[in-house]
Amino acid sequence: MICQRYDGLLLDHDGVIVTLCSQHVLRDAAIDAFTDLGISDPSTDDVDTIMIRVVEAELRAVADRHDVDPDRLWQCREERIESALRAETKAGRKAPYDDVACLKRVDVPLGIVSNNQTRIVEFVLREYGLLKQFETIRAREPTRASLHKKKPDPTYLEAAATDLGCSNPLYVGDSESDVIAGQRAGFDTVFLRREHNAASQLETGETVELESLEAVIERIQ
């Protein structure tokens, strides 16, 4: 693995290209989504359910408990998260990692594959002058249906490879779901160690682990 010529490089966005948002910001956004629906006292579990790594069936269960339309709950959540991440980006707290600059040396097409909303990914990249470096972005639309296409489902990975005309791309992610999605798509996958996942233990099989994008580029050039 990581010993052959790749014809494309696919990268996760949050945690690989740009820093993660703080948990308290995401939690406040989720609470605000409930407030938008007139729910003033959601439980901690309910807030956690719609905050990150959302599962559609669990979202519906929360909506049923509060007697609200799940699509409306999800819409409020997506709008609040988008607003929060835009503000964090504008404030410079959600910013590119220093090693992202090395991607300018890559001589194969680049693409982004993210479970975040497409409009958020595009906004962040545009704010930092990075958008034109990537030939494709495959991420979510702000709809409940999009939850079924999230990684570890390989849908976005396969679509991005098709967009780039790649048959043998390398994928770089920072989570277990990234690794599984890469394996399901049949792509070599690098697990990138950053500060937020330095102690994470992967349950998947043998996986190449690297600690910087510089190290990734050294392997593929």
Residue 2 has pLDDT above 80, yes or no: no
The pLDDT value recorded for residue 221 is 75
Rounded CA separation 123/171 (Å): 22
* Among the four given CATH numbers 3.40.50.300, 1.10.1380.10, 3.40.50.1000, 3.40.50.620, the one describing domain 8-20+94-220: 3.40.50.1000
pTM score: 0.95
**Angle (deg, nearest 10), helices 23-36 and 70-90:** 140
The per-residue pLDDT of the chain, averaged, comes to 96
The number of beta carbons lying within 10 Å of the beta carbon of residue 166 is 20
Rounded CA separation 164/153 (Å): 19
What is the percentage of the chain residues whose pLDDT exceeds 90? 94
Q: What is the pLDDT of residues 140-170, one digit of tens each?
A: 999 999 999 999 999 999 999 999 999 999 9
Which ranges constitute the DSSP H helices of 68-211? 70-90, 118-127, 155-164, 176-185
Residue 121 has pLDDT above 90, yes or no: yes
Range 96-118 average pLDDT: 97
Instruction: Kindly give the pairing relationship between strand 136-140 and strand 169-173.
Output: unpaired
The pLDDT value recorded for residue 4 is 67
